[in-house]
């Protein structure tokens, strides 16, 4: 069975591209605009509008923490924060509890 396309992003250009799955022999992807390496984000990714700098900043924080947007067998990628305040709250929780940032960022709700 052939793999479908998956999403890659260029953070400096704030651009998203659908390309063949990386398991098909295509390894290093570069941005057609700036020639920087693209980041594989997964097939369940929906890019924010290019003008929405706050959303791209949140996306950058998520990607640098190791969070990606891969589909599960029956559902989407799960919860992902959309605002800087949600990211800040989860980062503060991770610092106080010692939980890894990537795990804290994908928590739907923070414990009281």
* φ and ψ at residue 86, rounded to 5 degrees: -65, -40
d(CA 10, CA 8): 7
Please count the other Cβ atoms lying within 10 Å of the Cβ belonging to residue 47: 17
Q: What is the pLDDT along the chain (112 residues), one digit of tens a residue?
A: 456 788 999 999 999 999 887 765 556 889 999 999 999 998 889 999 999 999 999 999 999 999 998 876 666 667 888 999 999 999 999 999 999 999 999 888 888 7
**Pair of tokens at residue 23:** 């398991």
d(CA 11, CA 58): 11
The single-letter DSSP state of residue 30 is B
pTM of the model: 0.83
């Amino acid at each position: 069975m052939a793999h479908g396309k998956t999403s890659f992003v260029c953070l400096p250009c704030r651009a998203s591209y659908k390309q063949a799955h990386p398991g098909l022999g295509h390894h290093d992807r570069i941005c057609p605009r700036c020639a920087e390496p693209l980041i594989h984000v997964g097939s369940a990714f929906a890019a924010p509008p290019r003008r929405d700098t706050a959303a791209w900043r949140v996306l950058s924080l998520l990607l640098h923490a190791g969070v990606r947007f891969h589909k599960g067998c029956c559902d989407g990628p799960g919860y992902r924060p959309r605002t800087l305040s949600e990211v800040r709250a989860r980062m503060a929780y991770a610092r106080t509890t010692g939980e890894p940032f990537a795990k804290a960022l994908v928590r739907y709700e923070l414990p009281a």
